[in-house]
Amino acid sequence: MLDRWGLLSNNPAEHATPPRPQKTVLRAWSADQLRSFLDSVRTDRLYGLFMLASLTGLRRGELLALQWPDVDLDRGLIAVQRSRVAVGYDVFEGTPKSGRGRTVAIDPATVAALRSHRSRQAQDRLRWGDAWQDLGYLFTHEDGRALHPSSVSEMFKRRCAAANLVSIPFHGLRHTHATLGLAAGISPKVMAERLGHANVSITLDIYSHVLPGMQEDAAQRIAMVLFPR
């Protein structure tokens, strides 16, 4: 209704129900699909990158910012301290998305993959000689140049197609790691620490689709303790 100045006396949108935000559908692989992919790229010069992404859930930018002093292969630890992100085509290096660093443990198979990758990189360095660009990064072009985040995503897409697998974005390796870890019974708190989430509630919200199965498994385990067969 209009008042004498021709203005609405009530806000017509006051009682409207706002649309609910659509939750992003996470695209991830099953354990069999991930195993098939890793088998298909085992001889690839970036096998170490794909292996590390899959077995740690590190973000693309975190992986590309890793330098060799960040890696302790004897102890099986990775120090995540930086991230390389693309804005347009320009790449900027800063702190991880959470704003803080973290340490992530890696398994023996990933350690072996990184040792092999380091040996291959040393061979590249010798082959390129003075033309080698010594930037210190783990994952580079053959001449030592830093990899662009977008080019890594394109490389991954091509390798998915070559392996005849359902295509997922590179970030899907992070989702796959988290989903498989939670489904395997790893606590959400531990997964939050590995993924670099600010708190466990973020992990629980993003991967809530995994929780019903975990609840059922927990119920059965508790029942087995009380009523062993």
Answer whether residue 37 is part of any domain: yes
The C-alpha atoms of residue 63 and residue 82 are separated, in whole angstroms, by: 9
Q: Which pLDDT belongs to residue 184?
A: 86
Answer whether residue 224 is part of any domain: no
Per residue in 160-218, pLDDT (tens digit) is 999 999 999 999 999 999 999 988 888 899 999 999 998 898 888 888 877 666 667 66
Q: Which pLDDT belongs to residue 69?
A: 96
Answer whether residue 225 is part of any domain: no
Phi-psi region of 121 (alpha: psi -120 to 50; beta: other; left: phi over 0): alpha
For 117, half-sphere exposure in the C-beta direction (CA atoms, 13 angstrom radius) is 27
Tokens 């992100």 — which residue? 85
Answer whether residue 12 is part of any domain: no
Answer whether residue 2 is part of any domain: no
Answer whether residue 6 is part of any domain: no
Per residue in 35-81, pLDDT (tens digit) is 999 999 999 999 999 999 999 999 999 999 999 999 999 999 999 99
Mean pLDDT within 79-96: 91
Expressed as residue numbers, the domain containing 131 is 31-210
| CATH code for position 55 | 1.10.443.10
- Residue 137's Cβ-count burial label (10 Å; 0-12, 13-18, 19+) is buried
